[in-house]
Structure 1
Amino acid sequence: MGGNTSHFEDSDESQSDGFPREHKSRIVAFHSEDQWNTHFAAVKDSNKLMVIDFTAKWCGPCRAMVPIFREYADKFTDVEFVKIDVDELSDVAMEFSVQAMPSFVFVKKGEVVDKVVGAMKDELQKKIEKHRRS
């Protein structure tokens, strides 16, 4: 039961990204399609921005974005941050037409409102700022 969602922890990188190991991330990682579908159904009517980071453990640019995504999760507390590993939840990645990693998908009211494909820190921040207000 407890293994379906978790606060994202990257113990390998947590020392080098400037956060102490005990830092509790606001990012929620989903490891089960059922858990993701339940969560998505519960928030799909919400006007709150959700940013989904589609990632993979083997992806170097994805790993480079870990501290940046964590920084934005801490900074933009009115936004929900989600991490989905494309190898664990490939059907969810296909639903969102993810074809490259990292892909950041912006969702409001159950609809995709924007995307950032690639490790583009500034573009990601601009789009978070834009869509969290709209």
Structure 2
Amino acid sequence: MGLLFSSPAAAASDDGDSHVLAIHSKDAWNDHSQSHGDSSKLMVIDFSASWCGPCRFMEPVFNAMAAKYTDVVFVKIDVDELSEVAQQWRVQAMPTFVLVKGGGEVGRVVGSKKDELDKKIEQLRS
């Protein structure tokens, strides 16, 4: 899964009071991805775009899930900012939620299907 990108400007930031890590550079994604690599902890990646209506609908839902499931890592990636990362994960529609454990994909939810996403997180987080 390793990406070979380098950029001197790595930017990862928390979205306000949220438990969601917003990643804004390939370098920051590489660092986060490598540090999570072999972890048995579930990571949920929200691939979205600022102009996407269903993505905006899911944003507060995703933030609420991050607050609820504190044992899960929640990451947000804007597909326009990090299109190469989105391509790596074969994101073709938005929002796409990729669930990752041990560096590999273990689940995926495409679209604003909050109940399906919640159910998959519940199943895969232990």
Do both proteins adopt the same fold according to a TM-score greater than 0.5, normalized to the shorter chain? yes
Unpaired stretches in structure 2, ≥5 consecutive residues: 1-7
- After the TM superposition, which parts of structure 1 deviate over 3 Å for at least 4 consecutive aligned residues? none
Q: Which residue does the alignment assign to 2:12?
A: 5
Q: Which residue does the alignment assign to 1:41?
A: 34
Are positions 1:51 and 2:54 aligned together? no
Classify the secondary structure of the residue corresponding to 2:51: coil
| Residue identity matched to 1:36 | W
How far did residue 28 of structure 1 move?
0.2
How far did residue 8 of structure 1 move?
1.9
How far did residue 39 of structure 1 move?
1.0
> In 2, are the aligned partners of 1:106 and 1:114 still within 8 Å (CA)?
yes
| Residue identity matched to 1:84 | I
How far did residue 38 of structure 1 move?
1.1
Unpaired stretches in structure 1, ≥5 consecutive residues: 10-23
CA distance in 1, matches of 2:30, 2:9: 16
CA offsets per residue over residues 26-76 of structure 1, 9 Å max, x none?
100000001101110111110000000000000000000011000000000
Overall identity of the aligned pairs, in % = 57
Q: Which residue does the alignment assign to 2:87?
A: 94
Alignment length, in residue pairs?
119
CA distance in 2, matches of 1:8, 1:99: 25
Counterpart selection for 1:129 from 117, 122, 125: 122
1:109-120 superposed matches below 5 A: 109-120=102-113
CA distance in 2, matches of 1:68, 1:2: 30
> In 2, are the aligned partners of 1:102 and 1:119 still within 8 Å (CA)?
yes
What TM-score, normalized to structure 2? 0.91
RMSD: 1.3
